[in-house]
Amino acid sequence: MRAGKAAAALIALFLALAGHAAAEPVRIVALGDSLTQGYGLAPEDGFVPQLQAWLAARGAEAEVINAGVSGDTTAGGAARVEWTLAGGADALIVALGGNDMLRGLDPENARENLEKILAAAERAAVPVLLIGIAAPVNYGPDYKDAFDAIWPELAARHGALLVPDFLAPLRAAIAAGADRARLMQPDGIHPSAEGVRLMVEAVGPRVLELLARVE
């Protein structure tokens, strides 16, 4: 009789622990540059906190970790991805390349660096959402074609989810007549809080898909 009660107690404890483990939120690490870090914005207005709020409003059990570093390039991301993943990640958002483009760096170097990041995620069995950035036409058609092709090609090769252009929602809104000053900070490079909101609305559904890939 006592043995039966002990077994029942152990089963109850196991179920309680299992329930606690199941309730742990999925950790999504956002590896990026100033667009991820939240440059020039109040802490609650950056990409990561706005994405966190967007997910919570839809009942997603997820914690978004801000691994954005202002000024970072794809080389910087590749250099820190291993220890970033080692800190605990169930899923990875990669949003790098803007600073490579602004500096006119060789697209092939950016491709190689992003390849290293995706390979590290594969070794860690962490699903990835790859977020690209479009090069402007003033870099010339050859540079733009080579740069813009990086993200869809790597996403297809590694089976990653893809958002081709992080800033596409802002460009679309401005083209439709929205006030640019309302969506962008005065530097013309970084989004305002309202601009980030549009970015999160566009990226959010893909992040939900990313969560569905976590095992």
Q: Is 165 a catalytic residue?
A: no
Torsion of CA 204, 209, 212, 215, to 10 degrees: -100
**Between the CA of residue 125 and those of 20, 39, 122, what are the distances in Å?**
23, 30, 5
Alpha-carbon separation of residue 73 from 55, 98, 163, 213 (angstroms): 27, 7, 18, 27
Q: 145-151 contacts: CB < 8 A, separation 24 or more? A: 146/107, 146/108, 147/97, 147/101, 147/107, 147/110, 150/97, 150/107, 150/110, 150/111, 150/114, 151/97, 151/114
**167 contacts 191 by C-beta, under 8 angstroms:** yes
Residue 187 catalytic? yes
Q: Is 20 known to be catalytic?
A: no
Annotated catalytic residue, options 33, 34, 72, 90 = 34
Tell me which of 72, 90, 148, 190 is the catalytic residue: 190
List all residues 6 or more positions away from 199 whose beta carbon is below 8 Å from its beta carbon: 35, 47, 166, 167, 169, 170, 191
Q: What residues act catalytically? A: 34, 187, 190
